Amino acid sequence: MTATMMDVPLTLDWIADRAERYMAGVEIVSRRPDKSLHRTSFGSVIQRAKRLARGLIAGGIKKGDRVATLMWNHAEHLEAYFGIPLAGATLHTLNLRLHPDEISYIARDAGDRWLIVDESLHQYCDKLTYKFEKVIVVGRDYEQFIESCPAEGPLPVLDERGELGMCYTSGTTGKPKGVVYSHRSTILHSLVAALPDSLDLRRTDTLLPVVPMFHVNAWGLPFIAAMVGTKLVMPGPHLDPPSLLELLQNEKVTVAAGVPTIWIGIRDLLDKQKYNLQPGLRMIVGGSAAPEQLIRDFDRHDMYLLHAWGMTETSPIGSISRLPPELAKLDEATRYRMRAKQGLPPPLVDLRVRNEAGDVPHDDTTSGEVLIRGPWIAGSYVGGHSPERWTSDGFFRTGDVARVDAYGFVQLTDRIADLIKSGGEWIASAALEHALMGHPCVREAAVIGVAHPKWSERPLAAVVLKEGKQCTAEDLRAHLQGKFAKFWVPDAFVFVEAIPRTSAGKFKKTALREQFKDWKWT
């Protein structure tokens, strides 16, 4: 006997039609370059997205064609998020923080045809060696284009396994590689990410996505918000702590999402100045691991930091650190250590930590590489690059090193590329960084391996102090002693004004290694 259920394709038009029909009045607030606020609604955004879709088709865009965006977070970008896929084309969000040569390489590799770009970013187009067939500028001719598009008319039937969007990896281990998300993978990711034990987004929430819409589809948050009817507050280009805190306060935001760098700046300002924020404001943090001290600091301000982990290849939700009820009885220090871990995979995701002996025991000691598979995990790269990243049994090799505790919680300890090998033993740089950022004087810390004549490599720590704080290498060394084996403790500490960062806000350790490649050990 066969099942008697309808075979309904999982495509983005289900979310778009639902938002237009039932969430039409839900507000979308966008901060403009001049800092003014623009207010619209899901009903208007979806109607305009459908006009955009018809205009793209009328202009010659066909199924599978790539249409790129180069924009900040705002309502027009959200229109492109829906309008491009509804036309049967592929939404390709370009990273505006990359060098023009990198953007040109990515656009050429993707085969982008059209570009929708913010007026404030239009100068990039003159620097690109890649030339788009058509460029539409938001703030210049975008409105005229939308007005010229048909308000009514059929849209193409979508294939759930067809392309919806694509992003490129940051290229930290070679050339950037393309990942294409299907309609099916995006719908399933949105459904599971919205669950209470996942990101727990609701119609009663107001969401501020600080994470850029060009980073893994803003972690899928725009699609989730449209699906459940969450009010969106878009920060535009103004990502400094005072501007963000003003939005958090005035728009009564209940959920925000961004990388640790953003939250470190927010914390530092909150320690100096009072803001009237929503009690229990939830902050989703991803992109890189958040130090335990940052979680503690926000608890002081009645703000809850929720740790999540993922990658471009995982759409991106791969794990979420929510403590189950049975762990509520644990002592405070243990609960904080658990919250600083990357947690458990959500439903439909299979996550393993494996080394040469097989899946590691849940002893919170044995390390291995994180492997992951599921319906929104990439099965290949565009062009078939790096096939070695997938195991013979169908898992994606993340390149992250981790261990697993008795509760199944995953704790990332480092990237394979960032491990330091000293005297034949491995040192996890990320663990040292988190401990250093627990020192009351330290704002940020990055640890790298530097060539050593005797030990092959030894750890060197680059440290940024908090404003007005003083600290010595001896103070930091004493802070680490007793927490780690003696050979783990860095042999050198250098105090810097800032740590280089990638376009995703992560520490750019390749730049640090280059900066200190000629370090002389004494």
pLDDT of 330 above 70: yes
Give yes or no: residues 467 and 371 share one domain.
no
The rounded distance, in Å, linking the Cα atoms of 156 and 162 is 12
Give yes or no: residues 395 and 469 share one domain.
no
Q: Of 475, 503, 490, 485, nearest to 429 (Cα)?
A: 490
Answer for the pair 341, 327: CB distance below 8 angstroms, yes or no. Answer: no
Give yes or no: residues 407 and 360 share one domain.
yes
- Reported as a pLDDT band with limits 50, 70 and 90, residue 173 is low
Answer for the pair 372, 318: CB distance below 8 angstroms, yes or no. Answer: yes
What is the percentage of the chain residues whose pLDDT exceeds 70? 99
Q: What is the DSSP letter of 347?
A: T
Q: What is the mean pLDDT of residues 441-465?
A: 92
Please identify, among 371, 402, 418, the residue that sits at the C-terminal boundary of a domain.
Answer: 418
DSSP state string for 180-203: EEEHHHHHHHHHHHTSTTTT---T
Please identify, among 146, 166, 182, the residue that sits at the C-terminal boundary of a domain.
Answer: 182
Q: Of 73, 14, 38, 516, nearest to 256 (Cα)?
A: 73
SS3 211: coil
- Reported as a pLDDT band with limits 50, 70 and 90, residue 474 is very high
Q: What is the mean pLDDT of residues 332-356?
A: 96
Answer for the pair 252, 42: CB distance below 8 angstroms, yes or no. Answer: no
Sequence-separated (6 or more) residues with CB below 8 Å from residue 400: 369, 370, 412, 414, 415, 416
User: Does residue 150 form part of some domain?
Assistant: yes
SS3 157: coil
- Angle at the Cα of 420 from the Cα atoms of 419 and 421, rounded to 5 degrees: 120
Give yes or no: residues 149 and 77 share one domain.
yes
Radius of gyration of the chain (CA): 23
Residues spanned by the domain of 53 = 12-182
Catalytic, 508? Answer no
Catalytic, 169? Answer yes
pLDDT of 75 above 80: yes
pLDDT at site 172: 56
- CA 322 to each of CA 315, 350, 427, 435: distance values in angstroms, whole numbers, following the listed order: 19, 17, 28, 22
129, 426, 483, 521: which one is catalytic?
426
Q: Of 220, 218, 224, nearest to 234 (Cα)?
A: 218
Sequence-separated (6 or more) residues with CB below 8 Å from residue 27: 39, 40, 41, 231, 232
Give yes or no: residues 403 and 467 share one domain.
no
pLDDT at site 224: 98
Q: What is the mean pLDDT of residues 110-134?
A: 95
User: Does residue 122 form part of some domain?
Assistant: yes
User: Does residue 39 form part of some domain?
Assistant: yes
pLDDT of 171 above 70: no
Catalytic, 127? Answer no
Q: Tens of pLDDT along 373-425?
A: 999 999 999 999 999 999 999 999 999 999 999 999 999 988 888 889 887 77
Q: What is the CATH number of the domain that holds 483?
A: 3.30.300.30
Q: Of 430, 181, 172, nearest to 309 (Cα)?
A: 430
Catalytic, 520? Answer no
Answer for the pair 282, 221: CB distance below 8 angstroms, yes or no. Answer: no
What sign does the dihedral 356-359-363-369 (CA atoms) show?
A: positive
- Reported as a pLDDT band with limits 50, 70 and 90, residue 174 is low
Answer for the pair 308, 286: CB distance below 8 angstroms, yes or no. Answer: yes
Give yes or no: residues 293 and 392 share one domain.
yes
The rounded distance, in Å, linking the Cα atoms of 296 and 301 is 9
Specify the pTM: 0.88
Pairing of strands 396-404, 66-70: unpaired
Sequence-separated (6 or more) residues with CB below 8 Å from residue 441: 465, 466, 469, 470, 471, 475
Give yes or no: residues 80 and 149 share one domain.
yes
User: Does residue 365 form part of some domain?
Assistant: yes
- The residue to which tokens 């800092």 are assigned: 35
40, 69, 169, 398: which one is catalytic?
169
pLDDT at site 71: 97
Pairing of strands 350-355, 368-373: antiparallel
Give yes or no: residues 407 and 493 share one domain.
no
pLDDT of 453 above 90: no
79, 160, 292, 313: which one is catalytic?
313
Q: What is the CATH number of the domain that holds 31?
A: 3.40.50.12780
The mean of the pLDDT values for the chain is: 94
Give yes or no: residues 132 and 253 share one domain.
no
pLDDT at site 257: 97
DSSP state string for 270-283: HTTS---PPTTEEE
pLDDT at site 501: 86
Sequence-separated (6 or more) residues with CB below 8 Å from residue 69: 77, 80, 84, 91, 92, 93, 94, 115, 116, 117, 213, 214
DSSP state string for 389-430: GB-TTS-EEEEEEEEE-TT--EEEEEEGGG-EEETTEEE-HH
pLDDT of 498 above 80: yes
The rounded distance, in Å, linking the Cα atoms of 147 and 196 is 40
The residue type at 455: W
The residue type at 430: A
The rounded distance, in Å, linking the Cα atoms of 366 and 402 is 8
Give the chain's domain count: 3
Q: What is the mean pLDDT of residues 103-132?
A: 95
pLDDT at site 455: 86
The residue type at 79: E
421, 469, 483, 517: which one is catalytic?
421
User: Does residue 412 form part of some domain?
Assistant: yes
User: Does residue 17 form part of some domain?
Assistant: yes
- CA 120 to each of CA 106, 138, 140, 317: distance values in angstroms, whole numbers, following the listed order: 21, 9, 10, 31
Q: Tens of pLDDT along 92-117?
A: 999 998 889 999 999 999 999 999 99
Q: Tens of pLDDT along 186-236?
A: 999 999 999 999 999 999 999 999 999 999 999 999 999 999 999 999 999
Sequence-separated (6 or more) residues with CB below 8 Å from residue 99: none
Give yes or no: residues 146 and 262 share one domain.
no
Q: Tens of pLDDT along 59-73?
A: 999 999 999 999 999
Please identify, among 390, 418, 446, the residue that sits at the C-terminal boundary of a domain.
Answer: 418
Give yes or no: residues 50 and 177 share one domain.
yes
User: Does residue 205 form part of some domain?
Assistant: no
Give yes or no: residues 310 and 453 share one domain.
no
Q: Tens of pLDDT along 25-34?
A: 999 999 999 9
Answer for the pair 286, 216: CB distance below 8 angstroms, yes or no. Answer: no
* Backbone torsions φ then ψ of 293, nearest 5 degrees: -60, -35
User: Does residue 248 form part of some domain?
Assistant: yes
